[in-house]
Chain A
Amino acid sequence: MTAALPARRPPAGRGLAGLRVPAWLGTPVRRLVTAVAVLWAAATTAYAALLLAPGDTVDILVGDGADTPEIRAQIVAEWGLDRPEAVRYLSYLGRLLHGDLGRSYQLQRDVGEILAGQVGPTVRLTLAAAAVGVVLAVAVAVATAGRSVWPRRIVSAAELVAVSVPQFVIGIVLLFVFSFSLGWFPVSGAADPQALVLPALALGLPVAGVLGQVLREGLERALEQPFAVTARSRGLSERAVVARHALRHALLPAVTLAGWFTGVLLGGAVITEALFGRPGLGRVTMQAVTGKDMPVVMAVVILSAAVYVTISALLDLAYRLIDPRLRSA
């Protein structure tokens, strides 16, 4: 889904995934514990979905694929369906620990293999979109924070629209203007770098909207703080006060949001890839959901949790670098 609103942003000042672990565990240990917890929860949620689904587990795992006695026997063996419930669950976790994401019985290929082949285009798309979002948001926020009323009104209206327009509507507008009318960019595919421009914009603009709002709010709040008054009283120009003092403060809430942006980008990639006919993880996910290929769907859930965990850990580090109060705490 597209970007949600800052009103629903996760509470600031919490660590990885908002989890709290007793302070006596050192920071690196804590980060590891929470990361493992999130991954375990993702794996268990996917597994629970499989169990909760109505009908026979074998039928579900076959999905819309070819249903032969050989495949059924293979499923029973690989998922340990002839063994007790607990053993099944543990062997599922054990398999994941070895990096084995299971097998798609529809495609008769290893899920890991399927996903690995599609990671590249999706990574390119999400990174490009993140860059679009961050660059636009920072530029606009710095340019308008503390300015007179009218530029701020215009920008905040633009942000409101960017936040409210679904990614696929932005995408369709971009397609209509730049592909069909002007012919600047290809309609679909992922062959050349030019084909990345429109999808990245469609995916990145809503992120820019939310991020821009958060940054501008943060800048304006920081500029009202006593330390900003002190900085001005030293003879600093307003631009220097923003650059040297306020921007870092404004970045803090934005950084806590960044883990959430990862989710928005991953989810949005599904829609963007469908709209622009790009290959990638989103396309694979859609095919799997449509064909009820559960092993692939489950693997996508686990993979996205892993991506989230990694990025959160990096951001946690960034947060500590920006805010010394957390370092010594």
Chain B
Amino acid sequence: MAVAAPVARSAARSAARAGARVRPGLVLALLVLAVLVVAVAAPGLITRVDPLAADPLRALAPPGAGHPLGTDHLGRDVFARVVYGARHSLGIGALATALAVGAGSLLGLAAGLAARLAGEALARLFDVLSTFPELLLALLVIAITGPGTWNVVVAIGIAQIPTYARVVRAQTFVVRRSGYVEQAVTFGHSRARVVARHVLPNVVGPVPVLATIGLGQAVIATSGLSFLGMGPQPPAPEWGTMLAESRDYLRVASWVAFSPGVALTLSVVCLTVAGRHLQRRFEGRTP
């Protein structure tokens, strides 16, 4: 022990140092995410301009006084629309992710804990469902329900359920067979206690990490469906819808496309950066 201890301790210390080091990228990402949360919760704090107020006389005005990011083809303020658009793009993405994570985790846990045959059957079902391209699955839902905000939430949520269900089931399986769960059994603890104390916490632990990264993908999916005209209907300011509208004016008014494109990209990049940081920290902690 005399030999090994200092090594282990210094390794732990250097790991702690690495974790504590301030990463400028992460700080920036968290700042952007904080602003986005404000935009979703209270867009009125950021801009007082009505995102729906049209002014045909000032249509396609370039960025300048009064309209910091210019106006669109109906003369609406692009900045206000981008700010209010956060609620649609990120809100739908978040709700869809919540639906997918919630349902997916429950199904995955059920499949992981169920008796062998039922669990296998569920697992195979997830496998098959996750082979479909998510966008096509979402479009299949939309074909039935029609376009609209809530339908997009349901469509994307359902399309992403198999992904989470698979991950959670695999994790449940690993934890169930782990040395520490077996060890807990040898203490004579009841099955319920072993599941509650050892299995559940270790299965659920990584889910928020997954959800953070998954949220970015859900936002992309949301704006993609909106871009195709399936999301919140005009005049609602959704980023994907705004991009779709801007395409016809790209030659004369690139700013109309620029702002929602940047907002969308920045959101997803920041969510991904934050998610990966969580993931690294998580993986650093568990073997």
* Residues of A in contact with B (beta carbons under 8 Å apart): 1-2, 4-5, 7-8, 10-11, 17-19, 37-38, 41-42, 45-46, 49, 52-54, 60, 160-161, 163-169, 172-173, 175-176, 180, 259, 262-264, 266-268, 270-271, 274-275, 285-286, 288-290, 292, 294, 297-298, 300-301, 304-305, 308, 312
Q: How far is the CB of A189 from chain B (nearest CB, A)?
A: 15
A168 contacts B224, C-beta separation under 8 Å: yes
- A interface, over-half SS: helix
Does B107 touch A at the CB level, under 8 Å?
no
**B:207-240 near A, CB below 8 Å:** 209-210, 213-214, 216-217, 220-221, 223-224, 227-230, 240
A263 contacts B132, C-beta separation under 8 Å: yes
Cβ–Cβ < 8 Å partners of A290 in chain B:
229
A274 contacts B140, C-beta separation under 8 Å: no
B264 contacts A266, C-beta separation under 8 Å: no
Cβ–Cβ < 8 Å partners of A267 in chain B:
133-136
Q: How far is the CB of B230 from chain A (nearest CB, A)?
A: 7
The 3 closest A-B pairs by CB, nearest first: A267-B135, A263-B133, A267-B133
Cβ–Cβ < 8 Å partners of B132 in chain A:
42, 45, 263, 301, 304-305, 308
Does B202 touch A at the CB level, under 8 Å?
no
Cβ–Cβ < 8 Å partners of A259 in chain B:
131
Closest residue of chain B to A277 (Cβ to Cβ) is B247
Out of A38, A163, A172, which one reaches B250, CB within 8 Å?
A172
Q: Knowing A4-B217, A8-B210, A172-B246, say if A165 contacts B268 (CB, 8 Å).
A: yes
* Residues of B in contact with A (beta carbons under 8 Å apart): 124-125, 127-144, 146, 163, 166-167, 170, 209-210, 213-214, 216-217, 220-221, 223-224, 227-230, 240, 243-244, 246-247, 250-251, 254, 257, 261, 264-265, 268-269, 272-273, 275-276, 279
A17 contacts B223, C-beta separation under 8 Å: no
16 contacts between A and B (CB under 8 A): A1-B138, A2-B217, A4-B163, A7-B276, A8-B167, A41-B129, A45-B140, A49-B140, A160-B273, A164-B216, A164-B268, A164-B272, A165-B264, A172-B247, A304-B132, A305-B131
CA distance A11 to B224 in the complex (A): 27
Cβ–Cβ < 8 Å partners of A18 in chain B:
127, 130, 166
A263 contacts B134, C-beta separation under 8 Å: yes
